[in-house]
Amino acid sequence: MVEAINCLDAESVSKLSPWLKAGTTIAVLGSSVVGKSTLINTLLGKEQQSTSGIREDDDKGRHTTTRRSLISLGAKGVILDTPGMREIQMADCKEGIAITFADIEGLVGQCKFGDCQHHSEPGCAVQQAISSGELEQRRLTNYLKLLREESFNSAMLSERRSSDKALGKYYKRIASESQKLKGR
């Protein structure tokens, strides 16, 4: 669905009401200055989120939304304001890929080798489907590309999570050791 709205106009923003229900969480995404915070303010009926129309000066210079925040819209659910993002990466979406490419995943199970990469192995059911015209090469390329992206991002994410955890433990240890030293 695409809705064109004026974020500054409550009546226009009310077009979004079918998606704003109790129990739902909505995230606003998009480049900086597209009007994400403005939209949220109009939904709230007050200027709660800083927008780039409001100048805020601090040691970092002029800025608007600098961090994520989760805002309650009462009976309209909750909404997540975000600073502008350059890109959105996928992770933990193996299930979504499996559903979207159910046809290919069905073929994969029929390949001769369990670890078939579906490029040039003998007995590859996927390549057979390409030759017979049952499957489009473009669709297979997309599938393989998404799988690669998924596994790369998920690995990066778990690496980052474990290094964050280790850092947290390190901080805790330093804090408790310095407490001990103070107590002496």
Ligand X SMILES: Nc1nc2c(ncn2[C@@H]2O[C@H](COP(=O)(O)OP(=O)(O)O)[C@@H](O)[C@H]2O)c(=O)[nH]1
Residue numbers at the binding site for ligand X (CB under 6 A): 6-8, 30, 32-38, 51-53, 64-65, 84
Hunting for tokens 């600098």 — which residue is that? Answer: 66
Nearest distance in Å: CB 73, ligand X: 16
Binding of Zn ion by 143 (CB under 5 A): no
Residue 109, SS3 per DSSP: coil
The CB-nearest residue to ligand X is: 35
CB 44, CB 71: distance < 8 Å: yes
CB 140, CB 118: distance < 8 Å: yes
User: What, of Zn ion, ligand X, Mg ion, none, does residue 32 touch, CB below 5 to 8 Å by kind?
Assistant: ligand X
CB 38, CB 70: distance < 8 Å: no
CB-nearer residue toward Mg ion: 37 or 42: 37
Nearest distance in Å: CB 104, ligand X: 37
Nearest distance in Å: CB 82, ligand X: 8
Burial of 95 (C-beta count, 10 Å sphere; 0-12/13-18/19+): exposed
DSSP annotation string for 57-93? EETTEE-S--S-EEEE-GGG-EEEE----S-----S-
Token output for 164: 């964050």
CB-nearer residue toward ligand X: 44 or 144: 44
User: What, of Zn ion, ligand X, Mg ion, none, does residue 126 touch, CB below 5 to 8 Å by kind?
Assistant: Zn ion
Site for Mg ion in 59-98 (CB under 5 A): 64-65
The pattern of x and - marking residues 144 through 183 that bind Zn ion according to CB under 5 A reads ----------------------------------------
Interface with Mg ion (CB under 5 A): 36-37, 64-65
